[in-house]
Amino acid sequence: MNQLEQLKQYTTVVADTGDFQSIKAYAPQDATTNPSLILKAVQKPEYRPLLEKAVADSKGASVEEIVDRLLIAFGVEILKFVPGRVSTEIDAALSFDTEATVAKGRELIALYEAAGIKRERVLIKIASTWEGIRAAEILEQDGIRCNLTLLFSLCQAVACAEAGVQLISPFVGRIYDWYKKQAGAAWDEAAKAGPNDPGVQSVERIYAYYKKHGIATEVMGASFRNVGQITALAGCDLLTISPDLLAQLQAADAPVFRALDPAARDASIERLAPGEAAFRYALKIGRAHV
């Protein structure tokens, strides 16, 4: 089996793209999008009709409303190619406004339902700020499932778990980028590869914490820079992967082994204090990646 097929034995594979034509070759379970991925996809001639229809259906509407319709149009098309769920992201400008995020989440779900898509097939993607997490908590109570993104720390993951969110997306590549930049010329790529990658280690800690404490929230590693980061997290609940890296996995046949095991419970992992004060203090003292 190629590496992609091996990976699917341990982990639910998710395609991270707005280019739904590219999804077919990799047969992922779910897909994730964001506005930048949709913007990239809509530059292609084959997707021009979706943009034109979103504009035509939104005569007299604001640019924001047109963008929302375009996001939903892509989401609806993507769901024709994946059996599971699609993640649709709320504008990052709302990340510190709980009420506005809740309102936007409800609007997006209403647009999906008007298009014949059940809410169970959609994850509303929200930044993992304190305000975003509170919005997700409210939406989850409405039966609107959420994907908490821009997540770089265990304290964010703990707050998401306490809020009962469906899924979190800890960012491997962004953490890797930060450490590499801080190290400068002293960075040793080979020594920091695979399980020694700081982004990989961050996801491992979150995964181990969730499994130790019986937390149902799904962990989906995201923001990958190379195949080594992906294979080092084989066994994570889900991994969302760009088409370029999916192609690399499909073209390689080196062995892939389970790296994360839900049955491996580290007894030393203590439950962290919940609440806003603990959340903000952990970020303030620089524990962003632990």
Residues with catalytic roles: 125
Q: Where are the alpha helices (DSSP H) in 26-97?
A: 35-42, 48-56, 63-78
Any idea what the Cα angle at residue 91 is, between residues 87 and 94, rounded to 5°? 125
Of 172, 234, 165, nearest in space to 202 by CA: 172
The token pair that represents 180 in the structure block: 């590499």
Write phi, then psi, for 178 (nearest 5 degrees).
-65, -50
- 221 to 48, 166, 205: CA distances (angstroms): 31, 14, 12
Q: Where are the alpha helices (DSSP H) in 88-197?
A: 98-114, 130-141, 154-163, 172-183
Residue position matching structure tokens 């994907």: 147
- 6 to 133, 170, 256: CA distances (angstroms): 34, 22, 6
CA quadruple 190, 194, 199, 204: dihedral sign: negative
